[in-house]
Chain A
Amino acid sequence: MERIRKNLRIMLLAFEIEMRQNLTDGFVVFGILIQPLIVAFMALWMLKGKGPDYAIFVVVGSGMTGLWTTLLFNGGNSITGERWNGTLEPLVASPASLRIVVFGKVLANVAQSLGSMIGSYLLISLILGYPLTLERPVLFVISLFFTVAALVSFGLILASFFILIPDFARMVNTLEFPIYILCGFLFPIALLPGWTTPISYLLSPYWAAQALHGAAQGSLTTVQIMGDWALMLAFSLAYILASGRLYRVILRKARADATLDIMGN
């Protein structure tokens, strides 16, 4: 019980510090607001004529792009930032679990990035004047909670690569759009070649996008949406369980290779 209380305190502190640091970073504003709004604007223009509920589809899809971009860049950069500031080594050496610290950081980034969806909603509804209706608001809100859990646990796995590979920050650009594509944020994955479908099924953001689109448009039954929740929950648990072992292996390797304070070649 004492251990849970301590871990919770560490997680909340990491959450608070990450939130405060993000507020001073202009790039966070770009990831959370500017890029999703530009993507929303373009998608809105390109997809007009796709039926009466396409605007809410764009709100959800562009919001998801903001969630993923923020998780990828800010979640990852929070590790790179520790490395650049020379605080990654003390963080790893401290008795607090690094996994709990990273969990708090990623949670802060994902929580902030929910602003993407709110921003897209406000742009499309209030500024551009499109009528927006959430067909199943209760299911949508519950789906959002599952989405946050799915993305945070996914981010936990992702962050481990930033710890292990000093150059990983330079490679993340290549991961941004593939997830937009494979997870069907703004078009159905049925348009993609068949061999990509199993990859989509292994990505929890795909199930998150499906649940949110389905609840927002009313295109899925309650049972189908609950199926998406179950899969998100299963993936979240799997990622969290895997991260325990992964962090032990990665930290052992990072210590053995002495790469924690290396900035990349």
Chain B
Amino acid sequence: MLNRILDNTRIFFEGAYYSYRALFRWLNPATYLASKVFAPLTMMIFFVYIGAYASGSNSASYYVIGNSLIFAASSGIFGVTMSVGGERWTGTLPYLFGSPANRGAMFVGRAVMHILDGMLGVFIGLGWGMLLFGLDLSRSDPLALIVTILITTFSTSGLGLLMGCLSLITRNVMLVNNTVYFALLVFSGANIPVEQLPGWMQVIANGLPLTRGVACTRMIVAGSSLTEIMPLLREEMLIGIILTILGYSLFKVFEFQAKKLGTLDIF
């Protein structure tokens, strides 16, 4: 029993480390900085300036916070999806499905590094916001901020795991990923207040990860405590858990189907 737990723990962390390292080649600092620091920064600047054009420069903090949290979705969706889907493209999926390794440890492990990386991304985003747009975090509870960012990154990674499963059955993984990522820009409240969206869009927004994370972060920056935001955080966490379970279930279904139909390597 103990050996099994140790094995699964090893698979979990080794899978997390190697899938991250193999996928992005982020040991190359220039590529990492380009993908993870400068590209999201320029997107943030773009939306901050549209916001400034629309409603004056005093709205910068609103867009800085929203777009910093989008950094979490960038890691959660692109990173996790490619970690799972990349197995198929690199031809390693048959070996993965042929191995006796615990599927849960293997599958969820793919998200771990991206959660940490996504958290770092959000902090970088907030740092840029302080540096460039005078974001004021003086009233923020640091613990509440860290917990919020952790849970938000986890929930977006849950969506990434689900999308990763879809990438096992579609050729157009970048189309699907980018569409979901940009849809989050609209629905999450990062740039448009959720309450201003049409009713049907609010329903979708409330079922997605990130929406509550963005709202919580804005509340924390405005001075709210961890206790005040806890109900929203619980819902964000629940969404992440549901998406992870859904993703894992789909992963099992696709494994079964692919083995049965012999479609592991068919694109």
Contacts and interface: CB of A to CB of B under 8 A. Distances in A.
A48 B191 CA distance: 13
A35 interface: yes
Contacts of B51: 46
B34 A177 contact: no
Interface stretch (B100-108, B142-150, B152-160, B177-185): B177-185
Nearest to A48: B54
A46 B42 CA distance: 18
A174 B34 CA distance: 6
Interface in A26-60: 26-27, 29-30, 34-35, 38-39, 41-43, 45-50
Interface in A63-96: none
B160 to A, nearest CB: 18
B92 interface: no
B49 A43 contact: no
A177 B182 CA distance: 14
B52 A191 contact: yes
Contacts, number: 90
A38 B185 contact: yes
Most buried by A among B45, B46, B191: B46
A184 B46 CA distance: 10
Contact of A38 (B39, B47, B172, B186): B186
Contacts of B52: 187, 191
B50 A30 contact: no
A234 interface: no
A192 interface: yes
A122 B227 CA distance: 47
Interface residues of A, number: 33
Given A191-B52, A265-B28, A177 B185 contact: no
B54 A171 contact: no
Given A177-B43, A181-B49, A49 B174 contact: no
Nearest to A172: B34
B200 interface: no
A252 B161 CA distance: 45
Contact of B53 (A41, A167, A188): A188
A188 B34 CA distance: 26
B246 interface: no
A174 B38 contact: yes
B241 to A, nearest CB: 28
Contact of A27 (B39, B42, B175): B175
Interface in A147-183: 167, 170-171, 173-174, 176-178, 180-181
A30 B173 CA distance: 11
B196 interface: yes
A26 B178 CA distance: 11
A173 B50 contact: no
A72 B47 CA distance: 20
Given A35-B178, A50-B54, A177 B45 contact: yes
B10 interface: no
Contacts of B135: none
* Shortest beta-carbon contacts, A-B, top 10: A26-B172, A26-B175, A177-B42, A187-B53, A173-B39, A38-B182, A174-B38, A177-B46, A27-B174, A46-B54
Interface of A: 26-27, 29-30, 34-35, 38-39, 41-43, 45-50, 167, 170-171, 173-174, 176-178, 180-181, 186-188, 191-192, 265
8 contacts: A27-B172, A34-B175, A42-B47, A47-B54, A49-B54, A174-B34, A177-B39, A191-B53
Given A46-B47, A186-B53, 15 more contacts: A26-B174, A27-B178, A42-B185, A42-B192, A45-B196, A47-B50, A47-B54, A48-B54, A49-B54, A167-B30, A173-B35, A174-B38, A177-B45, A186-B46, A191-B52
